[in-house]
Homo-oligomer: A and B are copies of this chain.
């Protein structure tokens, strides 16, 4: 009835697709095509449109895109307190990939020991299309089980033995430990001590296996006394290294399952007046910031953490898409990333 002149709701300063279309002298639809895949657009038209986009500094509205039928992928990332240093590299990679894929990343801490299932439940209540699990959560039976129960796609990262039903991205811990052990042997060491990781992380066993396999391959004897139990903490490394160096015939090299424990081994050596690496070689694993915050800087194994996070996100998104399309092949890819032995100053041949 009334010819009311409603006030416009807002004045987004930024250009919209119609502005671009007008400037380029085409329809909005054509602009959309140029932005998206650009299929079936004449070269000349495309150029005009692109020029218009550049001139107006146009950036499509994500919200509108999603609303108009684009997908809206939401990925949850659960993390627990340990290894903040690792987490940040991981987050950066995940964030990067989710933003280029136009997905949302929801980061949730999952700290309390018993509250894991609860944290999962809480996360899932917000409609999550997939979950990405960095270590050590990627090994947590409670979390894994809760997620499996919810039938949500999951990527387990850097775990030694990912569940079959999940996706995974990891390095070959066994091979990495093999490589490091081989490296130490090639330096001339034959009594190589090993400090294990926490028994509830599957990677720990893999690393130990790699150590043993290398020994076997090199026809070196495996001496159980040279394997000391550690728990990935500095403190446990202190004890393990002490135990190893207290041996009647102590090792000439110690390979620790992470950098914290390697740093601890260095400390123990120094306290005993042992020069590293002249009198004792010490190697770590993970290449965390600690590896270069210690003197001498640690020879260690580096995982491409940021890149692994990126890959994990990509894997997850692919799985989500194929699920949505009903194309889920029931395949669960397990990606193996390349590790790298980083040689620094903590290794040398055995003392004469």
| Chain B residues near A292 (CB-CB < 8 A) | 234
For the complex formed, measure the closest distance between the CB of A150 and the CB atoms of chain B, giving whole angstroms.
Answer: 13
Q: How many copies does the complex hold?
A: 2
| Chain B residues near A69 (CB-CB < 8 A) | 9-10
- Residue A3, interface by CB 8 Å: no
**Partner pick for A263 among B96, B106, B293, CB 8 A cutoff:** B293
- Residue A165, interface by CB 8 Å: no
State the A residues within 8 Å of B (CB). 9-10, 14, 57, 59, 61-67, 69, 72, 79, 83-89, 91-92, 95-96, 99, 105-107, 109, 125-127, 234-235, 238, 260, 263-264, 267, 270-271, 289-290, 292-295
CB pair A293 B67 closer than 8 Å: no
CB pair B289 A84 closer than 8 Å: yes
Q: What are some 21 contacts across the A-B interface (CB < 8 A)?
A: A9-B69, A59-B126, A61-B72, A62-B63, A63-B63, A63-B64, A63-B65, A63-B67, A63-B72, A83-B289, A84-B85, A84-B88, A84-B89, A87-B88, A92-B107, A95-B105, A99-B106, A234-B292, A235-B295, A270-B270, A290-B290
| Chain B residues near A86 (CB-CB < 8 A) | 88
> Which secondary structure dominates chain A's binding surface?
helix
- Complex: A92 Cα to B292 Cα, angstroms: 24
| Chain B residues near A65 (CB-CB < 8 A) | 63
For the complex formed, measure the closest distance between the CB of A31 and the CB atoms of chain B, giving whole angstroms.
Answer: 17
- Complex: A126 Cα to B109 Cα, angstroms: 29
CB pair B234 A295 closer than 8 Å: yes
**Partner pick for A293 among B9, B95, B260, CB 8 A cutoff:** B260
CB pair B64 A127 closer than 8 Å: no
- Complex: A67 Cα to B72 Cα, angstroms: 14
Q: Besides the contacts A91-B107, A238-B295, what 10 more A-B pairs have beta carbons closer than 8 Å?
A: A14-B127, A62-B63, A63-B64, A64-B67, A83-B289, A85-B88, A87-B88, A88-B91, A263-B293, A290-B293
- Complex: A99 Cα to B295 Cα, angstroms: 41
Looking across the interface, which residue of chain B has its beta carbon closest to that of A105?
Answer: B95
